[in-house]
Structure 1
């Protein structure tokens, strides 16, 4: 596994592992902590050294799972977690960027992960009720105190990125980014490249859809994708045109559509690190092998010519919402 520089002083494996689905979102019936531990251990064997989680996933159980699985690999890997979202009794998540809350959240994450310092601590969402300078300033103090090594942020606007980067340097931003979710190409990705900031691309396989192995009937009633317009049955049928295009390209390389989707993200910038998630060793190994897939200019042109996806993304519907449904918490 080759490495990618997120910044001049922080390199990680060019493909990481997103751990959210092991504890959050995609239906509890398929969750298996012991299998997830095997996935994490196999990822380390494959050379993956960046693992992404959040206190909101579970909530809290995903950090405990990751801490247990990586306890024997201290110093070998990098853990990225997030703060700033709080689960509500109605199943939604509210934003909380108050300095006192972020401090307490950090202490909780350190305890659950079993580490002395968090490698990359990310603000999950900006809280519009709290001045950014207060939230980000508190996170910067955690770095100064040695509880956090670097800071990142998810789903901020370019204007917000400019503001906080001037307060304390951003190491990485994180957004959903894939063949069918390209909104970051217009502003966020260019901003990150201009400022020497890493870009963590979550859901590079389109939350499983771009693998070509998912249809609406497979989604459990508790699966958060059931409430996402892009995963409505009609939208999924229409979007098969995108999957068929990925299949055509995959056939030329003896690869899979999922590998093509991941390889595409790797072509979008030297600072881009896809962090696909999975709960199965088989798919982990397939995803990691995408690092060796070299797409041609013809392949990339064919992907660019694929039709735009049908159906809003959960992120688009909740961009400025104070409370977020589970499907929007990536």
Structure 2
């Protein structure tokens, strides 16, 4: 495994940088969903450990942190504030609205304009800020006119409550429709070495110069088995399967921003060290063939 006692001196900076919502951040970010309790519900078993994990991530060079009001609900945002407020100027914290959670793992989409506004205002309070640099629509609500959902985010931007607007789990057509209404700063869809259903969205974003944020980037599943090609390749370069999966994402496109999340300090440091992994063209070709 690629490790170093002075990990913070060299690793995340190796991932390269990208400009999102007016800030230049490193391309290997952090997804804060797993800071909370099991099934993304309630308090974590050890809140202090989650606070320390978040502080360690920033020490390691993480300056793009993704959360959402539904994580907990609300717990992830509160932990981020406890860990990092007042926030370092270079750190970009983005949150999302447009979903509800009524119990562990029980989600529903809710994109009514009044709810999006309420969630944005409450996120401002929980994060302890008067302005959210990047606010994302968590999911498009098919029961609400699309232009109403995007239009409300546009109003929040015009009021100065948010600086930039991002979209989650969207198609190319939805991105292009939203861009007819307001400037879109980023797109976040599920994407990993084994899950590439949004390949067309990634390619569109690459052409248009839009950052593409990859959630659940470590969906490596069966590829991490002892006999899998991913584990075999990882052994060849003294890395872990997770590091190889993240290195492949960083090599896949310059606008791609993986946001691996974890509740483990060991896994956090392992994930960040993936920025130093370099894959050869032949290895990338081999990994390209592993899509499910």
TM-score, structure 2 length as denominator?
A: 0.88
Question: What does 1:162-181 correspond to in 2, within 5 Å?
Answer: 162-181=176-195
What per-residue deviation string (whole Å, max 9, x for no partner) do you get for residues 117-136 of structure 1?
A: 11210000101111111111
What is the aligned counterpart of 2:250 among 256, 266, 270?
266
Alpha-carbon displacement from aligned partner over 1:84-108 (angstroms, at most 9, x marks no partner)? 0122369632222121111111110
Select the residue among 91, 103, 107 that pairs with 1:77. 91
Against the structure 1 CA distance between its residues 87 and 118, is the aligned structure 2 distance closer, same or farther, given a 3 Å change threshold? Answer: same
Q: Check the 8 A contact 2:213/2:258 in 1, yes or no.
A: yes
Work out which of the residue numbers 18, 39, 61 in structure 2 matches 1:5. 18
Residue in 1 that maps onto 2:117: 103
Aligned ranges 1:140-289 → 2 under 5 Å: 140-185=154-199, 187-206=200-219, 210=220, 244-289=228-273
- State the alpha-carbon separation in 2 of the partners of residues 63 and 27 from structure 1: 12
Show the counterpart of 2:29: 16
> Deviation of residue 248 (structure 1)?
1.4
Structure 1 partner of 2:5: none
| Equivalent position to 1:299, from 280, 283, 287 | 283
Residue 47 of structure 2 corresponds to 33
- Using a 3 Å threshold, how does the CA distance of structure 1 residues 48 and 85 change in structure 2: closer, same or farther? same
Contact 1:31–1:279 under 8 Å retained in 2: no
What TM-score do you get using the length of structure 1 for normalisation? 0.78
User: How far apart, CA to CA, are the structure 1 residues paired with 2:66 and 2:247?
Assistant: 19
**CA distance in 2 between partners of 1:242 and 1:126 (Å):** 39
Q: 1:288 to 1:83 in 2, by over 3 A?
A: same
Matched residue, 2:66:
52
Alignment-derived partner of residue 63 in structure 1: 77
- Please tell me the root mean square deviation across aligned C-alpha atoms, in Å: 2.2
Distance 1:256 1:89, change over 3 A: closer
Q: Give the SS at the match of 1:73.
A: coil
How much has 1:148 moved relative to structure 2?
0.6
Q: What is residue 137 of structure 1 aligned with on the other side?
A: 151
CA contact 1:6–1:171 (8 Å) conserved in 2: no
The more displaced of 15-24 and 90-99 is 90-99
Structure 1 gaps, min length 5:
211-235, 310-330
1:174 and 1:7 map into 2 onto residues whose CA distance is 12
Q: Kindly tell me the number of residue pairs found equivalent between the two proteins.
A: 278
Asked if the contact 1:22/1:32 (under 8 Å) is kept, the reply is no
| In structure 2, distance between residues paired with 1:11 and 1:90 | 35
Q: Which residue of 1 aligns with 2:7?
A: none
Deviation per residue, 1:2-56 (Å, 9 max, x gap) = 3422459442111111010121554779742211111111111111101111011
Task: Point out the more displaced range, 69-78 or 101-110.
Answer: 69-78
